């Protein structure tokens, strides 16, 4: 089975602050990490490799040259091949152009049975790239995957909903987007880290390599315009009601009714 895992290098948002005057992110000195949901995607691919024979994992990212570090970490965790899709022509891509560019890279990879994406990137936060990628590649997709079983060509997943989950079946090849409930990502061991830097390579593909036309990627191919960014004002302090006597419960019911919650 050939698996492609799309990972994005993101700023560690625990460390990111917003400039209150300009409303833009202060990125200086902020460490970069592999997006959390993408680590769950990678972990699931590695679990499949542990379970079945002949599983090959390619990790793919579109990003600047520094994204090499994220790919090395993925190799150290257990991926077999790493591809960095990087070109000045990609600068300013919105999700539409990003997904088109990744789709072109996946087409160049050629053979694949399963594509994993994280549900959502913690910086861009749109959750659009996975579903768009599936559309461009004409693949069935299931989002918000919290459990996965593969039996031959059949893929059975539990897909998280707000109030539970649904069980869906699809067939390979397909694209799945993953959430943190799926698994606990492993840490890379020392041997893995050593191999990732000494034995393994990260392939670098440009726009020319993936044969993407200039009008399909980058700023000019991006229909999204960011009109404004701002820091939301802090929420007011909540109200705490103590006790489970009749009066407290009545008070709670009144408050919920006032706010049209019930
Ligand atoms: C108008 C506009 C201009 C922009 N200009 C720039 C810019 O100049 N430079 C810049 O860095 N960003 C830019 N962005 C942000 C960029 O569009 C997003 O980072 C990118 O499209 C991914 O969207 P997202 O972060 O919402 O990912 P999501 O859709 O939330 O990500 C879902 C999943 O898709 C996969 N994925 C997402 N992005 C990648 C990737 N790059 N490689 C591999 N897998 C991926 C991951 O598995 C991820 O978990 C711009 C956005 C807009 C709207």
* 247 inside domain: no
As for how many domains the chain has, the answer is 1
Question: Which residues are CB-contacts of 102 (< 8 A; sequence separation ≥ 6)?
Answer: 6, 60, 62, 85, 129, 133
In a domain, 53, yes or no: yes
Q: Measuring from each residue's beta carbon to the nearest atom of ligand 1, which residues come in under 6 Å?
A: 6-8, 35, 37-38, 60-63, 91-95, 98, 102, 117-118, 120-121, 123-130, 222, 224, 226
Domain annotation covers residue 200: yes
**Taking 90 as the threshold, does the pLDDT of residue 234 lie above it?**
no
Average pLDDT score over residue span 212-241: 86
Per-residue pLDDT at 23: 63
In a domain, 214, yes or no: yes
Q: Who has greater pLDDT, 185 or 15?
A: 185
262 falls within a domain: no
Question: Of the candidates 91, 202, 188, 85, which has an alpha carbon nearest to the alpha carbon of residue 133?
Answer: 85
Q: Whose CA is nearest to atom 5 of ligand 1?
A: 92
Report residue 42 as tokens. Answer: 């990678």
Within-domain flag for 232: no
Beta strand extents in 7-140 (DSSP E only): 9-11, 17-18, 25-26, 32-34, 56-62, 81-85, 114-118
Backbone Cα Rg of the chain: 21
| pLDDT tens column, 23-76 | 666 767 789 999 999 999 999 999 999 999 999 999 999 999 999 999 999 999
Q: Which atom of ligand 1 is nearest to the CA of 91?
A: 8
Q: With bands split at pLDDT 50, 70 and 90, how would you rate the model's confidence at 236?
A: confident
Cβ neighbours of 52 (radius 10 Å): 10
Residue among 33, 57, 95, 229 whose CB has most ligand 1 atoms within 8 A, to mutate: 95
User: pLDDT tens-digit profile of 82-129?
Assistant: 999 999 999 999 999 999 999 999 999 999 999 999 999 998 889 999
In this predicted structure, what is the pLDDT of residue 163?
94
Q: What percentage of the chain carries pLDDT values higher than 90?
A: 83
Task: State phi, psi for 94 to the nearest 5 degrees.
Answer: -90, -170
Q: For ligand 1, atom 8, name the residue with the nearest CA.
A: 92
Q: Is the pLDDT of residue 228 over 90?
A: no
Q: Has this prediction a pTM greater than 0.85?
A: yes
Distance 54 CA to ligand 1 centre (A): 31
pLDDT tens profile 125-145:
899 999 999 999 999 999 999
In a domain, 72, yes or no: yes
Q: Which of 63, 124, 222 to mutate to test the pocket of ligand 1 (most atoms within 8 A of CB)?
A: 124
> Which of 25, 44, 98, 225 has most ligand 1 atoms within 8 Å of CB, for mutation?
98
Indicate which residue's Cα is closest to atom 52 of ligand 1.
94
Query: 13-17, 110-114, 157-161 — which is least confidently predicted?
Result: 13-17
The Å distance, Cα 200 to ligand 1 centre, comes to 26
Domain membership of residue 103 as a residue range: 2-221
Give domain status of residue 260, yes or no.
no
Domain at 102, CATH number: 3.40.50.620
Start-to-end C-alpha separation, the chain: 49
Closest residue CA from atom 2 of ligand 1: 94
pLDDT of residue 159: 98
Mutate to test the pocket of ligand 1, among 121, 122, 210 (most ligand atoms within 8 A of CB): 121
């Amino acid at each position: 089975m050939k698996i492609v895992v799309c990972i994005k290098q993101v700023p560690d948002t625990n460390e990111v602050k917003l400039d209150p005057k300009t409303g833009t992110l202060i990125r200086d000195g902020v460490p970069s990490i592999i997006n959390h949901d993408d680590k769950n995607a990678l972990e699931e691919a590695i679990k499949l490799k542990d379970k079945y024979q002949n599983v090959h994992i390619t990790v793919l990212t579109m990003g600047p040259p520094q994204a090499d570090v994220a790919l090395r970490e993925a190799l150290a965790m257990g991926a077999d091949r790493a591809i960095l899709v990087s070109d000045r022509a990609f600068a300013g891509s919105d999700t539409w152009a990003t997904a088109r560019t990744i789709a072109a890279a996946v087409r160049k990879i050629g053979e694949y049975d399963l594509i994993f994406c994280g549900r959502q990137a913690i910086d861009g936060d749109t959750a659009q790239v996975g579903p768009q990628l599936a559309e461009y590649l004409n693949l069935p997709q299931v989002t918000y995957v919290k459990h996965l079983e593969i039996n031959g060509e059949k893929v059975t997943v539990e897909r998280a909903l707000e109030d539970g989950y649904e069980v869906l079946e699809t067939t390979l090849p397909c694209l799945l987007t993953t959430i943190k409930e799926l698994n606990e990502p492993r840490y890379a061991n020392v041997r893995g880290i050593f191999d990732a830097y000494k034995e393994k390579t990260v392939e670098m593909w440009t726009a020319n390599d993936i044969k993407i036309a200039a009008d399909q990627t980058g700023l000019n191919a991006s229909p999204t315009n960011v009109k404004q960014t701002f820091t939301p004002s802090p929420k007011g302090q909540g109200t705490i009601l103590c006790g489970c006597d009749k009066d407290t419960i009545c008070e709670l019911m009144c408050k919920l009714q006032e706010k049209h919650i019930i």
